[in-house]
Amino acid sequence: MVHWLHPRTVFATPIAATLLAVELLLFEWRPRSFIPVATASVVAWLLRAPLLGAGPIFPVTPHNSLGWQAILIAVVIGVAAGFGSGLLTGLVYRCEDAFLKLPIHWMWWPAIGAIFVGIGGWIDPRVLGVGYDLIHGLLRGEIIGSALIGLLIGKSLVWSIALGSGTSGGVLAPLLIIGGALGVGMGQFVHIGDVGLWAAVGMAAMMSGTMRSPLTGMFFLLELTHDLNALPALLCGSVAALAVTVLLLRRSILTEKLARRGQHIAREYSVDLFELMRVRDVMDRDVPLIPAATPLQRFSARVASGDPLICTRQGTLLGNEGGELMGIMTRGDVVRAFERSGDPTVTVLDIGSTNLIVAYEDETLHDAIARMLTHDVGRLPVVDRGNQKRVIGYLSRACIMAARERYHRDEQLRERGLRKAKVIELQNV
C-alpha cells in the first residue's frame, strides 16, 4: 500500500492514485473497493496542500490544442515505448535470473547489485536518487541531445540490476525518467509541439506499457503537469504502448514476479459470462421423461443395455402419463438402491427425489448456478414459469462447462485471428 499512498501524497495525483490502486493492487473494479480507495485519495490530497503546498509538482507551460500530426507522433512514441517496456521487463528478469545462478547465498545479492549501482552512479551521477529534478527537466525540455542516451541506457541498466538483485526499489520515478528520455529523444527530431510534450507522452506510455495501466499513466502525467491540452496525446501514446506490450508479453513487470512465485493474477476486467447468458442458451432441449411408475428392475436393465436416452445424462427426469414432471433420479440414487433392486414393487419414483429444485429458461445462468451451489445439486430441470410441471429443458454441469468452453474458444479465435490468417495464407502459397 505504500506505493499506492505515494502518488497521492508526493505527486498530488488523487485520480491517478485511485486508478493505480484499482489497476495494480486490487485487480477489480467494484464499489466495495473503489469507494474506499477514492475516499482515501481525496483525504490525502486535501491534507497535502497545507503540508507540501498546492498545485502540480511539475508545472509546465500549457500546450495549444493538438492536431492530427501530433496525435500520429504520440502513437509512434507510444509504440516505441511499448517495445521499450518489453525490453525493460525482459532486462529486469534477465538480471534476476543471473543472480539466481550465482553460487553464493542470496543475502549477498543486494550488495553485489549495489556495486553495479555505484559504478553506474560514478559514470553518470544522474542515474542515482529519485530523479525528480530530471523528470522536471525533461518536461521543460532542458535535457536534449546526446545526454539523453547516457540517461536512457544508464538508468535502465542500474534500475534493472538493482531490482534483479532483490533490492527494494521504486517503479514510478524510474519509468518516468526512462520514458521521458525516450520521448525527448524521438521528439527532438520533429517540428510539431516541443520536446516537453513528447517527454510527457513518453512517460505516460512507458508507465502504461510496463505496468499495463493505461489509465494510470495517462492521468498521472495529466495531474503532474496540469496540461489539459496534452490529454489526447497522452491517451494515444498510452494505448499504443499497451497494445504493443500485450502482444509482446504475457504479463506486466509486476505480475510477472507474482507468476514466478506461483500466483496468477488476472488483469482483464470483463463482464461475467454467466451474467450475460440465459439458461435457454445452454440447456439441453431434448429431454425425455421416464414414466415414474417404471419398475427399478426394468430401468436397471435399460441402463445395463446402454440405452442412450438414459445413459448420456447423470440425472433422469420422471413424469406421469400426462407428461408432467414428478421427480428426478440420479445415478447416485440408482447405486444406493441396488440392494432394493430385487424388489419388483420398487419404482424409479421411490428412489428418486420429488422435492425438485428447478430453473427457468429466462433467468441468467449465474442465478441457476447459484441455486445449484446452494442446494448442492449438479443438475436442474428447466420448467415453464406458468406451469412448473411442464418440462422444457435440462441444465447440467456439462451444459455449463460446454458453454464456457465455447466462449473461451471464440475468444481465442478472435484474439489469434490475424496469426491464423497468416498461417492459412502461407499454407495456400
**Residue 47 counted as domain residue:** no
Q: What is the largest CA-CA distance in the chain?
A: 96
Average pLDDT over residues 53-70: 81
Of 4-13, 51-60, 111-120, 365-374, minimum mean pLDDT range: 4-13
CATH code for position 248: 1.10.3080.10
Instruction: Pick the more confident residue, 26 or 403.
Output: 403
Q: Measured in Å, how far apart are the chain's first and last C-alpha atoms? A: 55
CB 319 within 8 A of CB 289: yes
Residues 203 and 90 reside in one and the same domain: yes
pLDDT at 71: 92
**316 and 201, same structural domain?**
no
Same domain, yes or no: 86 and 151: yes
Asked, for residue 53, whether it belongs to a domain, the answer is no
pLDDT at position 204: 93
Same domain, 110 and 205: yes
Return the CATH number at 381: 3.10.580.10
Pull the grid cell for residue 237.
501514446
Tell me what the mean pLDDT of segment 113-128 comes to.
87
Same domain (yes/no): 244, 342: no
Residue 70 shares a structural domain with residue 171: yes
Run of H or E residues at 380: strand 379-383
340 and 214 fall within a common domain: no
Element (H, E) at 379: strand 379-383
225, 11 Cβ separation under 8 angstroms: no
Pair 299, 213 in one domain: no
89 and 154 share a domain?
yes
Domains of the chain: total: 2
Q: Is residue 420 over pLDDT 60?
A: no
- 424 within a domain of the structure (yes/no): no
Interaxial angle between packed helices 147-164 and 172-187, expressed in degrees from 0 to 180 and rounded to the nearest 10: 150
* Residue 148, domain extent: 66-260
Q: Where are the alpha helices (DSSP H) in 21-103?
A: 31-52, 68-100
Let me know whether 95 and 221 are in one domain: yes
The answer to whether residue 413 sits within a structural domain is no
In this structure, are 153 and 239 located in the same domain? yes
pLDDT at 57 over 90: no
pLDDT at 167 exceeding the cut of 90: no
Confirm whether 185 is domain-assigned.
yes
Question: Of 364, 359, 348, 352, whose CA–CA distance to 396 is shortest?
Answer: 359
Q: Binning pLDDT at 50, 70 and 90, where does residue 82 land? A: very high
Q: Which three-class secondary structure state does DSSP give residue 263?
A: coil
Cα(359)–Cα(113) distance, rounded to whole angstroms? Answer: 61
**One domain for residues 359 and 390:** yes
Would you say residue 33 lies in a domain? no
Query: Is 161 contained in some domain?
Result: yes
Residue 193 corresponds to which amino acid?
Answer: G
Q: What is the mean pLDDT of the chain?
A: 80
* Residue 19 forms part of a structural domain: no
- Name which of 153, 154, 146, 201 is nearest 179 in CA terms: 201
